[in-house]
Amino acid sequence: MAEKKITKREKYEMLLALDEVKASDMLTDFVTHEIELLSRKNSNSAKQTPAQKDASAISEIIKDVLAECPDEKGMTVGAILKTEPIKAYVRHNGEGVSSQIVTSIFTKNPNDFKRTVEKKVAYYSLNYGVVEDSEVEGA
């Protein structure tokens, strides 16, 4: 049976519970300071990079474009790239949106978008809360 891994924060909290550490103000201050540093480090890692901000903005634009799509099977990546909102978007590095970025957004968000292939052409549409299980497709 595998043991549960103890995090650094949990170890510091265990130290704070010890009577020897409680007796020394210097040790208590040190351990408390280390816990605060861990908290700051974890809160900074939650910030998004410029590329991640671009990807989330592009994803929202694609959702808006697909929501207005009259065709029930959806749109191809090329058709999405030709729409005005995608053409108008400029990424943080000054470049436009490429097909590789759009495809990666579809791949990373399978719960948001539905992919159907018809005659070797991939069409993407919004997935309205229906999550398909890959095991069901093979049956």
Q: pLDDT tens digit string along 11-24?
A: 889 998 999 888 99
Burial (CB count <10 Å: 0-12, 13-18, 19+), residue 103:
middle
Q: pLDDT tens digit string along 27-84?
A: 899 999 998 888 887 766 567 788 888 998 999 999 999 999 888 889 999 999 999 9
| Helix (H/G/I), strand (E/B), else coil: 69 | coil
Amino acid at 53: K
What's the rounded Cα separation, in Å, for the pair 73 and 91? 28
Q: Is the distance from CB of 91 to CB of 109 less than 8 angstroms? A: no
Residues 6 or more apart whose Cβ sits within 8 Å of residue 119: none
